[in-house]
A and B are shown apart, each in its own frame.
Chain A
């Protein structure tokens, strides 16, 4: 199953390192990354594969959100389908 991880917040050093290390530890495989800085704000979107994940999507989503709080970023992990539904005709 694929999911989309979004990381948004004030730009600083080491965000990608921390987030990817965290995901690796949870058994989440990163398939694609896109990242930019929009008006001093860091915005990263990752497509990830959860087939090797140690936990279910909802538990991972909660942990990602908590991890985000610890590093001062807003992190969401959501089912890929919601984006497919809303943005593909």
Chain B
């Protein structure tokens, strides 16, 4: 028989502290779909995604009922589409639209993988593919896109960085009626991971097997509650408490992941324990940091608190699951976290502090709304800064900024639902264009030469 307190702890985590399986993401290889023409490939892609993921939503819902734990999102990630679109790159949009239709048919929440990997060089067909991204994101609902522009091993492809600044601007312009919402579905990565279950950056890496189940577990509220229960603890004890909590959450994720993979006839990929906030109060990473003893997220000490949190989460997660992967850490998307939103509105959280925070947590500058008139070269420079942090520190970093058309500091954008709302944050006015126009490759750091 179980210990009464353990049982009630689990029930409390689910009922009051927002413990949930944030996503079950099925990774599907599209390599078998490559055909000579865009039309033929689009048909094969649609059929393959629909047949592989046919039962995904049903299985997730029945698992959620049986185990009594909410499963918030059902998603699919696919092979980076630029690979299968190479023979007909100018018509890549056709494949994007087929993927979006498949997502609609399946009833899933998002489908990721309209992606390109150009961290060292960019072939003509890849450049052409990337140029289709704005139009595709503006004309689809559930499709997400990502581009990897750098890695610790290869350096930073500054030609791709320059291009992505322009692509972000175009995407915002084409979705101007929705405050540049298209940009919320576009991530620019350095050191992208191949088994990430979280959107908008999920894609199914070419090193993965045919069909894989990756599960993302969350629970900032659970961690916050655990910290609240020991208000006078020192940081050693606090780290230990976070680690133990992370362990429990990850175990729940591992159980669901194994069972989902079995029922869907897919391989069990990884469990990604990431503290992913939602705009709901009590489901916030910022509030965890504040519970640790900061008056407001963004003040001095924030980076240290976040570093400890991220590390403790990883340690608990690694102990709990035989296969930990994805990003596994703490996310700091501004618009999706009530504590971050409020700190930004008070002026207590600026983009420079967020950049510092990304050096010690698992992602990057995420869901940040910036003035609509921000030049493309400034966005490229923001991307370059983040990529440099990722490249030097051997970690994933990403940029998902929204230059909201027609809006400026003092305004706010509202995307609704899990994507939340964001005040427009100021960026530096001084130009970076000369640096961005140089192009070329920032060479890989010396410590990447390990062979």
Mark A residues whose CB is within 8 Å of B. Answer: 4, 6, 8, 32, 34, 36, 43, 45, 47, 57-58, 61-62, 74, 76-79, 81-83, 85-87
Contact = CB atoms under 8 A, between A and B. Distances in A.
A4 B2 CA distance: 9
A33 B325 CA distance: 39
Contacts of B4: 34, 36, 43, 45
B446 interface: no
B252 A77 contact: no
A86 B252 contact: yes
Contacts of A36: 4
Interface of B: 1-4, 6-8, 10-11, 15, 62, 65-69, 248-249, 251-252, 254-255
Contacts of B69: 82
Contact of B11 (A6, A32, A61): A6
10 closest Cβ contacts across the A-B interface? Answer: A58-B65, A78-B68, A85-B255, A87-B6, A85-B251, A86-B248, A32-B1, A82-B67, A57-B66, A79-B67
A87 B244 CA distance: 10
Tell me whether chain A's interface is mostly helix, strand or loop, or mixed.
Answer: strand
A85 B254 contact: yes
B2 A77 contact: no
B401 to A, nearest CB: 37
9 contacts: A43-B4, A45-B1, A47-B1, A57-B65, A77-B68, A82-B252, A85-B255, A87-B3, A87-B6
A8 B3 CA distance: 15
Contacts of A74: 15
A81 B69 CA distance: 12
A82 B255 contact: yes
B315 to A, nearest CB: 14
Given A81-B67, A85-B251, A58 B11 contact: no
B248 A87 contact: yes
A77 B69 CA distance: 11
Contacts of A57: 65-66
Contacts of B3: 87
Contact of A76 (B2, B6, B11): B11
Contacts of B7: 4, 6, 45, 83
B251 A6 contact: no
Most central of A43, A45, A61, A74 by chain B CB within 10 Å: A45
